[in-house]
Structure 1
Amino acid sequence: MSEKRSPAAGRVKGKIRTWNDDKGFGFIEPMLGGKQVFIHIKALGNRQRRPAVGEVVTYELSSDRQGRPCAVKAALAGDKPTSKPQAKRKSASTNSGNSRPLLVGLVFIGLVAASVTLGKLPPLVLLLYIGMSLLTYLFYYLDKSAARAGNWRTKESTLHLMSLLGGWPGAWLAQQKLRHKSRKQPFRFIFWLTVLANIGALVWLHTADGSAHLSMLLGSHSSFPF
């Protein structure tokens, strides 16, 4: 939405009335009443924090070319108002947090590889984890790029499905490295459920019953080297 600055200065306080996280925009209800104000994710100084309905927001009032009110230089409660995205602060604790998913992911893939070497799992399972992790990381990267540009987003259900199918190491790494979906608690809760479900399924595949079912599933592909 193209904007022109209104002559009135000063910040206005309101509450998020509606928010479409997939499209990256919503509407603000001013505390003092009046027309609802359009807000785009680009208007927020801290784009890593996603707005929620009912959350308090301060902003400067502007208008688009059609004269419709819109928010600029917006900040959610607790954030400092700024027109620019907040600079990333690098610290020892942050770097440690970023490296943890990579370390855990490598250890996990190593354990799967060990199971393959010992004949507990077919090589296809290892290839699935590696391939899905790389693909899931790519989807997170594309989704964050779309969020910044205000373009169409990847559905959260799609990201969760990819994690469930073995891409969770890549998803966890992307959340920390890209700072994407790392603070949205409902999303994080479901994400960890997919991790537990996937690991549970992997443990089951090591049982006699699970191994038998996997052998039956791959039976029609017995001519392949996996």
Structure 2
Amino acid sequence: MMRFEGTLKDWNYDRGFGAIAPRQGGQELFVHASAFPSGSEPPQVGEALSFEVAVDQKGRKQVLRVQRSDGPPAPPSHGDFLAPAANRERQRALSQGSGRRWSFWLLVAGVVTLSAAGAGLWVANIKSGGSANYAQAAKVIKVSKTR
């Protein structure tokens, strides 16, 4: 198998996977922690790597047998990479979907509140004569049927 060179562009420390950008260009490749030597340190974003590529049963490219290059880590291609610890926190917050969870419960609370308000208005209408109007309409129907 042929070895390729690339740079680790992204890494999810909690789940143990990330993406490698090949030095030759092309699409970023998925890489799992199992492709790294066992017992090695976790990879760092921006680190230069060499790796092999195979195709799995579903036809997707798979990174195998990753090795760390001897040189210093390659600088990130843009300056907004986070430090590994901050990246872990960012990944954890994104994976938990906290914003979506709050939005969902806010929506549920709004629906319950509106339902309760509507039920209260309906009961108030019945108590304030809504039922009397209904009873009066029922009498008119009875009278018209008997004639």
Using structure 2 for the length normalisation, give the TM-score.
0.45
State the TM-score, normalized to the length of structure 1: 0.30
Please identify which structure carries the higher strand content.
2
Which structure has the larger Rg?
A: 2
